[in-house]
């Protein structure tokens, strides 16, 4: 890619901004010097790596590359046998640590979409033992640990002991009779040997070796005879220590030297990885997206934001070219965003080719072999070229080199010379470039160039929008429309005299005025259409909201209906169980009376009373059946508002509020609840108000009983039965019952519990062979009222109990 395109589109500034997120010096330099890919495959590979790094950093929270200083030539010196310094070895340990962290962290991610970064990480080689040895043996850039080797530990222990003995002996000089000979009561060192500062006049009073004297000659530094041998031994031990340290450093350096190739490759991989992590962080900071890539010259950008403009100030721009047309001609007022849009299109293509995400809602860009730019003031003082001459020099190069794999960006071609000749030249250049098959964008104020774009194939007009009321640019691009420059309107806004403006308007050619008027009217019509479209969109949104509200209301009604149905069924079962229990109780009492060997008059009266009560229960049941018989299936043609109906699906009566025959539906008020139900699920009341229904059946049958006939009294038969049933409770015990006996009891128990608004109950079934428990669990699974059930916990009965929760 030519350097001019990178400079004019400001890709170099983008790469520098992204490089600020890199950790390694090498990573920064690699990213700053990144060359855009010239193939779709390479561009996609780079973008895939960036996408994977976004996921690694912000989804899986992986650490970035650990910092280490560049190794320079230290690995080469180590390979040749040189002993590296402590500081250099610590730098190498930092590299080993960084390699290990990247390798292990990336390898630990099992996401099948992480492929490219795993391939990079697989190329990393490290030696954990060597890393630990360096860190463990070297304490700082100048110090090796005592435990670096057993020999070094022993030597340093001896050196410390000998130092203590020397200091102790010299201390005796300071406190003893010889103290009077000393200049100061201290022990000092000369040539790494302990000495005493002796006054010059007493230098012969202290036997020993003279190492030095002060500048004034008043003090001699004497090593006493008694410590001479100890200092010699200390000197020997210090030399041994130095040799051992040198050996340790050389051994560690040798191990590094043997890994030169692997570590050199690892350093390059880490720098590459660091660059892609930086791309990922830069994408996150821009709220950027991964673009689609193609080699067809197609560019489609929705809501693109130039990355060098403040996010709070930039106005998103959308544009498209490369399908129906390969060239875009952008016109409109000055400061309206034409040049920024031109640069953004080229910049986005180059950014994607470098593996950078784009700040846009969505983007599809092409990979070009070359991008040619002619924008900005190209005046050259050194070459004595005017602005126009410099532009011509650039245009000559572009028309010679551009082909179908090129993108051309021209900012107001033909400027800087006579307008008539300039626009003729601009049109000719654009017309020629169209024939080469290249993709391009040009900005212009020339009317003839706008007219050409209306009639020529392969090129489309686009305009940067301008608010005619406020005279402010809107930074919005409109395809298919040419934009007016609005120079006179802007000049009027800034206060240019009306006399001058009128004169300028009179100097405009008739064709120019006509074109400007057409463009202006087209823009006004477009704005009105857009306003109508926005209003229609609001109406559609409001209608959708109402539909959603109606759907939610229908859902609530449906849920309420299901609740009523479940309640009605439970109530029916409860009433049946209640009446059966009452009848059994009456029969039980009668049976107890007849068990007596002799019956008194009082027993007969009691039995007769119990019998009458039992007959009354039979009448009540018949009356309910008769009440139900007073309803016939509703006829949608005869059903009217206000009719009383029986809702079969709910088991309740209600009043008809409205009838929708075309949908076979009716709205029924059932207490405080309104239901929309099918007419086929309704039964209409057929009582005519005179005690007769429409079929002539008495609304209430004659009372049965009395003497003879088929009376309820004569049909009474006393039999043994179970004891009266208990009221609903929190628990039922069915241990000892068969499956056939237990299932109905459990079913009735659940009904009673639901009627009593219980949230949780227990069913005690025991463990046994498991058949009873399995049958009860199957019943619970099929019951829509049951939210969940579980075995009892410790202390609740465990496997012998099932705990049930209702919805």
Cβ neighbours of 384 (radius 10 Å): 7
Nearest to 99 by CA among 20, 48, 24: 24
DSSP at 758: -
Torsion of CA 596, 600, 601, 605, to 10 degrees: -20
What is the rounded CA–CA span in Å between residue 153 and residue 150? 5
What is the rounded CA–CA span in Å between residue 546 and residue 655? 27
> Three-class SS of residue 114?
coil
Q: Which helix (H) or strand (E) holds 587?
A: helix 510-594
* Residue-averaged pLDDT of the chain: 80
Query: Global pTM?
Result: 0.59
Pairing of strands 459-467, 472-479: antiparallel
One-character DSSP codes across 181-197:
GBSSS--EEETTEEEEE
DSSP at 687: B
Q: Which pLDDT score, from 0 to 100, does residue 731 have?
A: 86
Arithmetic mean of pLDDT, 438-466: 83
DSSP at 665: E
**pLDDT bucket at 738, cuts 50 / 70 / 90:** confident
Arithmetic mean of pLDDT, 397-403: 88
What is the rounded CA–CA span in Å between residue 684 and residue 638? 10
Sheet with strand 760-764: strands edge to edge? 731-733, 760-764, 801-806, 786-791
DSSP at 408: E
Tokens representing residue 367 in the block = 């990979």
- Comparison of pLDDT for 233 and 795, the residue scoring more: 233
Ramachandran region, residue 458 (left: φ > 0; alpha: ψ -120 to 50; beta: rest): left
Q: How wide is the angle at C-alpha 176 spanned by C-alphas 175 and 178, nearest 5°?
A: 110
The predicted-structure confidence for 707-728, as pLDDT tens digits, reads as follows: 333 333 334 343 333 334 444 4
The predicted-structure confidence for 533-572, as pLDDT tens digits, reads as follows: 777 778 788 888 888 888 888 888 777 777 766 766 676 6
What is the rounded CA–CA span in Å between residue 277 and residue 281? 6
Tokens representing residue 75 in the block = 């690995």
One-character DSSP codes across 139-192:
-SSS-B-GGG-HHHHHHHHHHHHHHHHHHHHHHHHHHSGGGGGBSSS--EEETT
The predicted-structure confidence for 111-153, as pLDDT tens digits, reads as follows: 999 999 999 999 998 889 999 999 999 999 889 999 999 999 9
Nearest to 433 by CA among 407, 460, 394: 407
What is the rounded CA–CA span in Å between residue 693 and residue 701? 12
Cβ neighbours of 349 (radius 10 Å): 29
HSE-up of residue 579 (Cα within 13 Å, Cβ side): 15
Arithmetic mean of pLDDT, 255-283: 94
Tokens representing residue 696 in the block = 């002539």
N-term to C-term CA, the chain: 68
The predicted-structure confidence for 584-621, as pLDDT tens digits, reads as follows: 777 888 777 777 777 776 776 777 677 767 766 655 55
The answer to whether the CB of 304 falls within 8 A of the CB of 337 is no
Nearest to 322 by CA among 358, 288, 296, 301: 296
Is the pLDDT reported for residue 7 higher than 50?
yes
**pLDDT bucket at 243, cuts 50 / 70 / 90:** very high
Arithmetic mean of pLDDT, 425-449: 87
What is the rounded CA–CA span in Å between residue 748 and residue 726? 12
């Amino acid at each position: 890619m030519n350097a001019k395109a990178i400079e004019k589109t400001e890709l170099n500034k983008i790469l520098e901004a992204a490089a600020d997120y890199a950790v390694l010096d090498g990573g920064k330099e690699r990213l700053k010097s990144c060359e855009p890919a010239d193939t779709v495959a390479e561009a996609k590979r780079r973008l895939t790596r960036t996408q994977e790094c976004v996921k690694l950093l912000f989804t899986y929270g992986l650490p970035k590359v650990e910092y280490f200083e560049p190794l320079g030539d230290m690995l080469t010196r180590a390979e040749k046998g040189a002993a590296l310094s402590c500081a250099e070895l610590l730098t190498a340990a930092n590299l080993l640590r960084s390699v290990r962290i990247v390798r292990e962290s990336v390898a630990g991610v099992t996401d099948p979409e992480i492929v490219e970064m795993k391939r990079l990480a697989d190329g990393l080689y490290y030696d954990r033992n060597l890393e630990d040895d360096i860190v463990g043996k070297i304490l700082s850039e100048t110090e090796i640990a005592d435990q670096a080797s057993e020999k070094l530990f022993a030597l340093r222990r001896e050196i410390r002991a000998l130092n203590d003995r020397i200091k102790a002996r010299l201390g005796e000089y300071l406190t003893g009779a010889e103290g009077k000979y000393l200049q100061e009561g201290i022990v000092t060192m000369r040539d790494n040997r302990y000495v005493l500062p002796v006054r010059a006049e007493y230098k012969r009073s202290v036997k020993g070796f003279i190492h030095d004297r002060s500048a004034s000659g008043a003090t001699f530094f004497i090593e006493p005879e008694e410590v001479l041998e100890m200092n010699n031994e200390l000197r020997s031990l210090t030399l041994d220590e130095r040799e051992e340290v040198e050996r340790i450093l050389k051994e560690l350096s040798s191990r590094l030297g043997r890994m030169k190739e692997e570590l050199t490759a690892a350093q390059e991989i880490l720098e590459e990885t660091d660059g892609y992590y930086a791309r990922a962080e830069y994408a996150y900071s821009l709220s950027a997206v991964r673009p689609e890539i193609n080699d067809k010259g197609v560019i489609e950008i929705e809501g693109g934001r130039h990355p060098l403009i403040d996010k709070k100030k930039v106005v998103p721009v959308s544009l498209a070219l490369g399908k129906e047309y390969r060239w875009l001609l952008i016109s409109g007022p000055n400061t309206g965003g034409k040049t920024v849009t031109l640069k953004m299109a080229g910049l986005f293509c180059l950014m994607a080719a470098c593996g950078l995400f784009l700040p846009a809602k969505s983007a599809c860009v092409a990979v070009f072999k070359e991008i040619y730019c002619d924008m900005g003031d190209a005046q050259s003082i050194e070459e004595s070229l005017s602005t126009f001459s410099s532009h011509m020099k650039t245009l000559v190069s572009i028309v010679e080199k551009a082909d179908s794999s090129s993108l051309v960006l021209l900012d107001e071609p033909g400027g800087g010379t006579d307008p008539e000749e300039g626009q003729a030249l601009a049109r000719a250049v654009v017309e020629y470039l169209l024939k080469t098959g290249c993709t391009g964008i040009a900005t212009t104020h020339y009317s003839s160039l706008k007219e050409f774009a209306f009639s020529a194939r392969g090129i489309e007009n686009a305009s940067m929008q301008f608010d005619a009321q406020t005279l402010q640019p809107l930074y919005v691009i409109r395809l298919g429309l040419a934009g007016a420059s609005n120079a006179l309107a802007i000049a009027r806004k800034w206060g240019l005299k009306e006399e001058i403006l009128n004169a300028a308007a009179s100097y405009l050619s008739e064709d120019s005025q006509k074109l400007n008027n057409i463009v202006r009217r087209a823009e006004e019509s477009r704005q009105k259409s857009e306003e109508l479209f926005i209003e229609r969109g609001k109406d559609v949104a409001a209608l959708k909201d109402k539909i959603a509200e109606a759907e939610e209301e229908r859902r609530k009604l449906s849920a309420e209906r299901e609740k009523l149905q479940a309640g009605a069924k439970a109530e029916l079962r409860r009433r049946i169980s209640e009446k059966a229990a009452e009848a059994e109780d009456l029969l039980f009492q009668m049976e107890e009376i007849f068990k007596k060997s002799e019956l008194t008059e009082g027993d007969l009266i009691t039995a007769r009373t119990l019998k009458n009560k039992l007959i009354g229960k039979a009448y009540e049941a018949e009356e309910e059946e008769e009440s139900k018989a007073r309803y016939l299936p509703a006829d949608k043609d005869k059903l009217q508002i206000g009719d009383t109906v029986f809702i079969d699906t709910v088991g309740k009566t209600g009043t008809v509020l409205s009838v929708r025959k075309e949908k076979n539906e009716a709205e029924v008020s059932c207490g405080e609840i309104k239901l929309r139900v099918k007419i086929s699920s309704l039964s209409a009341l057929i009582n005519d108000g005179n005690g007769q229904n429409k079929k002539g059946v008495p609304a209430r049958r004659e009372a049965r009983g009395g003497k003879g006939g088929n009376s309820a009294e004569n049909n009474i038969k006393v039999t043994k039965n179970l004891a009266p049933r208990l009221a609903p409770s929190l628990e039922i015990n069915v241990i000892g019952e068969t499956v056939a006996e237990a299932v109905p009891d459990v079913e009735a128990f659940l009904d009673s519990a639901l009627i009593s608004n219980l949230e949780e109950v227990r069913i005690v079934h025991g463990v046994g062979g498991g058949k009873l428990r399995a049958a009860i669990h199957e019943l619970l699974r099929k019951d829509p009222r049951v939210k969940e059930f579980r075995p009892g916990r410790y202390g609740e009965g465990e496997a012998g109990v099932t705990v049930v929760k209702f919805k």
